[in-house]
Amino acid sequence: MFYNKHIKNTSNLIADIFGWDGVIRTHAYRSQSPRPYRLATSQYERLIYNSTKKYKNLVKIKFFYGIFQKGWNMNREAILNKYSNEEDRLFVAKIIDKINFAKTRNQIVATDFLDMYQKKIAQEVINIVKEQNYKFYYACEEAEKVMLIFYPDKYMDLFENERFNYSQFVKLIRIKLPNELKGTYSHKDYLSGIMKLGIKREKLGDILVFEDGADIVASFEICEYVVNNLQQLTRFSKATIIELNIKEIRESNVKKEEIRIVVASLRLDAIVAELAKCSRNVANEIIENQRVFINYENESRSSKLLSEGDVIVIRGKGKFIVKLINGETRKGKLSVTIEHYI
C-alpha cells in the first residue's frame, strides 16, 4: 500500500540526515478505531500519520527528550560518566532504561525496591533528564524501602489523583505464628528464611515484625512462590502464610532501644567497634569487607567522622542512629547516645 512505501522512504531519509547506525526497524500499529496509524521507526521517536487523509500526510514527528537515538546515547553516556562506582553506573543505566521504556512503550513500569541511597541516585538521574512522570511508592509511613514507578502522560491523572492500583506491582505476605512461637522471631529470622528460597533482596520491601508474626512487602512476581514454599522451612512449618492486598498492611510500632557508648573519637572504626562489641582491628575488617553503610551508602573509610543523625547499618549486627553526642567525659573521651533498632 502507499502508506507503507511512504513510511519506508521517510524513515530512510531521516536515517540519512541524522546518521543513525544500522538498519532502522519499522513497525506499524493499526488501531481498531479510525484513529491515526502510529509508526515507531526506532524506540526513540514516533511518526504519526493522519488516518483521515488515507495515511498520505505526515502530521508530526514526536521526539522523546527532543533527541534521536544518536543524541540519546551521547546523553546517556554523559550521565553514566558522573558515577565512578561500577555498581552505581549499572543502577543508573537501569533507571535510564526504565524511563525510556515508559515513554517508548507507553506503559507504566516499576523498579525493584530501592534503599535510601539508591533513591538518592535515582532522584539525581530524574533531575538531570528532567523527568516529571514518576512516583516514589512507600507501602506504609515507616517504610524504608521504596519502589520507583514511571508512567506515560496518558496515566498522569491516575497518579496525580491517587487512583492508581499499586497492587499490580506490590503484594503483601502475612506470616502468622503459632502460639508457642509468638514473640520469638526477629527481622533477620524472616529475611534469612525468605532468602533461603533463592529470592533476591531487591525483590523484598520492608519487613514489619509483630508479636504474632510479620507483614512482608514483596514484588508481585515472587509473592505466590514465597507463599507456596516458605512453609517448607522448619521455622515456618507451623505458621500460616497468606497473600493479601498491599492496602491491608499493618502499621508497625518499631522497637528501639537507647544505648550509651564511650569512644575516643567519632571515627567510624571506633563507633563500629563499640556497636559490634569487637576490637578496633576487627572493626576495621568489617569496614573493609563492605559490611558497613552510612546513610545507606557503603563506607570503606575507617577514618570517616560521624555526626548526629547519621544512620549506621552493620550487616549482621543491625541498624543504628547517632542520636546525640553528649560531650566529653572526665577522661576526655566522647559520650554518644545511640538508637538501636531491635
pLDDT at 171 over 70: yes
Run of H or E residues at 71? helix 69-80
The better pLDDT of the pair 33, 94 is held by 94
Q: With bands split at pLDDT 50, 70 and 90, how would you rate the model's confidence at 47?
A: very low
> What confidence score (pLDDT) does residue 142 get?
82
Q: What is the pLDDT of residues 266-282, one digit of tens each?
A: 999 999 999 999 999 99
* % the chain with pLDDT above 70: 78
pTM over 0.75: no
> Is the per-residue pLDDT at 137 higher than 60?
yes
pLDDT of residue 235: 95
pLDDT of residue 252: 79
Q: In three state form, how does the secondary structure of 234-273 look?
A: HHHCCCEEEEECHHHCCCCCCCEEEEEEEECCCEHHHHHH
Mean pLDDT of the 10-34 span? 38
pLDDT value for 14: 42
Q: Is the pLDDT of residue 286 over 60?
A: yes
Helix (H) or strand (E) holding 145: none
The residue count of the chain comes to 342
Q: Mean pLDDT across the stretch 141-155?
A: 93
- Which 8-state DSSP code applies to residue 166? G
**Bigger pLDDT: 287 vs 4:** 287
Separation between Cα atoms, residue 295 and residue 310, nearest integer Å: 6
245, 172 Cβ separation under 8 angstroms: yes
How much is the average pLDDT of 11-18?
42
- Taking the alpha carbons of 315, 243, 118, 43 in that order, is the dihedral positive or negative? positive
Bridge partners of 210, per DSSP, are: 213
